[in-house]
Amino acid sequence: MKIACVVGARPNFMKIAPILEAMKPYPKLQPLLVHTGQHYDYEMSGVFFEDLNIPEPDIHLGVGSGSHAVQTARIMIEFEKVVLEHKPDLVLVVGDVNSTLACALVAAKLHIPIAHVEAGIRSFNKSMPE
């Protein structure tokens, strides 16, 4: 089973690390790690990959920064290409950032099952966009 595991922001890295580790004993589970580039600076993401022992992503979308709408749209456009090429059996999204929304929408529109880990913290603070 090919599983597209999506990360894009620092909180996602912390959530995906134990999931990827838990998949290792099951050779039928084939994670495809996709980094959207929502937080695109090495200082903002590279150190997490090293410290959490996360493998180098299989695919970098490299979307970078922009308004929420622009960034979400870019992620959707690029992730759709990945999904159409790699044909995952499942899309795994974590957290509540723009990457989560964008990739879940793409998967839903392409009729690919979605797994969502952690629906976000409940701060009830509307000024916290992510």
Q: Give the contacts of 58 (CB within 8 A, at least 6 positions apart).
A: 32, 33, 34
What the chain holds in terms of domains, given with CATH numbers, is: 2-117 (3.40.50.2000)
pLDDT digits (tens, 9 = 90+) for 65-107: 888 999 999 999 999 999 999 999 999 999 888 999 999 999 9
Q: Is residue 63 scored above 60 in pLDDT? A: yes
Give the residue among 86, 125, 66 at the shortest CA–CA distance from 6.
86
Average pLDDT over residues 44-56: 79
**What's the pLDDT score for residue 117?**
93
Q: Which of 37-41, 63-67, 121-125 has the highest mean pLDDT?
A: 63-67
What are the tokens at 120? 């976000």
End-to-end CA distance of the chain: 30
Residue 24 has pLDDT above 70, yes or no: yes
- Average pLDDT of the chain is 89
Angle between helix axes 98-109 and 68-86 (nearest 10 degrees) is: 40
**Cα–Cα distance measured from residue 73 to residue 79, given in angstroms and rounded to the nearest whole number:** 10
